[in-house]
Amino acid sequence: MGKKLHILFLPENIASMPALTASSLNKNENVIAKCLSRTVHKYQQKNETLIFLPEIPSKNYLFKWILAKWKYRRVLKKWICWADILHYTFTTGLPNGQDLKWAKKLNKPIVIEWMGSDIRNPDLLKKINPYYKKAFENGYEYARVESCEQSQKNQKLFAKNNAVPVFFPEMKLFIDSSLFKNSYLIFQRINLNSFIPHYPSLENKRPMIVHSPSAKIAKGTNVLLPVIESLKKDFEFEFILLHDLPREKVLETLKNADIFIDQLILGNYGMASIEAMSFGKPVMCYIMPEVFECGLPQECPIVNANPDNLKKQLIRLITDARFRNETGKMSRAFVEKYHDVEKISKQLLSIYKSINEKKVND
């Protein structure tokens, strides 16, 4: 048997997707995948692939800070040397991409997967999404993080070190194709075995609506709440707002929901929507036409809602149990087709092998 392919995800386990993907890849007998993360997050799922990088304390403890930085760099470099393929998520492991320079010097193929604020370009998005423009100018939580300059800086840093982007449809809007020779479309992924579908009941005349915002302005919570209050006067339903709660509590509530409302501003769906669809729930979310043009299948069953049509779309979901049930079933089928980590890990393995072969032949 030949040498196994070593795949390393780093430096963040965003939405647990890198660790889940690594675990799925390890089912291939010719692969060993690991996931490095420098952040411990309460929503993060832990598994056997996850390795936490040494935590760096405050500069107030100067000696500890220096020692921790040295340990961090040593561990990071050790794992980069171990890997045959480096799959970065969101950003670099060291300031100014020193770890990318190590990888390039060692001739390691690099894949980069951006997730949102890392390369989202407000200048572009404001032109095509009026809801984002209004939110950005009125308390948008990521306004200091997202900029055209930051997007270009991140992309140029990875391009300089020969990285290959893999991206889900929304991110295609922001990737500067002039910087990269090759790129690949893939979808966000989830372990479907962790989600047993609970489709909305056809008999329920008082549906439960769940909204779980991580950032209330970005998600449009301030737009949603007045609409909910106005609908309570004429319709029977239960509304639950989940914010800053343990993941287990959020998932338990979501499992019993009849309707899930994700975001009404950004123009694309994320992991919260995918989890809800995995449970077989109808999901309400704003998706820009441009995201479909970038590769999102037209069969996506998400109820497309924005601040202008929110009330109308909600009334339909509240009053039509059959629509909720059928949309929930389509949601689960869509996730099984496009977001199953087992399917996507095979696509990624094919991409890794292709990149590896090009490296050998160059």
Domain boundaries, the chain: 5-189+340-361, 192-338
Query: Terminus-to-terminus CA distance in the chain, angstroms?
Result: 26
Query: CA 126, 214, 164: angle at the middle one, nearest 5?
Result: 60
> pLDDT (tens digit, 9 = 90+) per residue, 21-31?
999 999 999 99
Give the residue carrying structure tokens 């709660």: 245
Q: Which CATH superfamily is domain 192-338 in?
A: Glycogen Phosphorylase B; (3.40.50.2000)
**CATH number for the domain running over 5-189+340-361:** 3.40.50.2000
Q: What pLDDT score was predicted for residue 63?
A: 78
Residues 6+ apart with CB under 8 A from 153: none
> pLDDT (tens digit, 9 = 90+) per residue, 46-91?
678 888 888 877 777 787 888 888 898 899 999 999 999 999 998 9
CB atoms near residue 95 (< 10 Å): 8
Q: What pLDDT score was predicted for residue 336?
A: 97
Q: Which helix (H) or strand (E) holds 65?
A: helix 62-82
Q: What pLDDT score was predicted for residue 362?
A: 56
Here the contacts of 148-152 (C-beta below 8 Å, separation 24 or greater) are: 148/121, 148/122, 148/123, 148/124, 150/118, 150/119, 151/118, 151/119, 151/120, 151/121, 152/176
The Cα–Cα gap between 324 and 20 comes to 29
Whether 5-189+340-361 shares its CATH topology with 192-338 is answered: yes
User: Is the CB of residue 318 less than 8 Å from the CB of residue 238?
Assistant: no
Q: What pLDDT score was predicted for residue 43?
A: 57
Residues of the chain short of pLDDT 70, as ranges, are 1-2, 40-46, 358-362
Q: What pLDDT score was predicted for residue 68?
A: 82
Overall pTM > 0.85: yes
User: Is the CB of residue 258 less than 8 Å from the CB of residue 207?
Assistant: yes
Q: What pLDDT score was predicted for residue 164?
A: 95
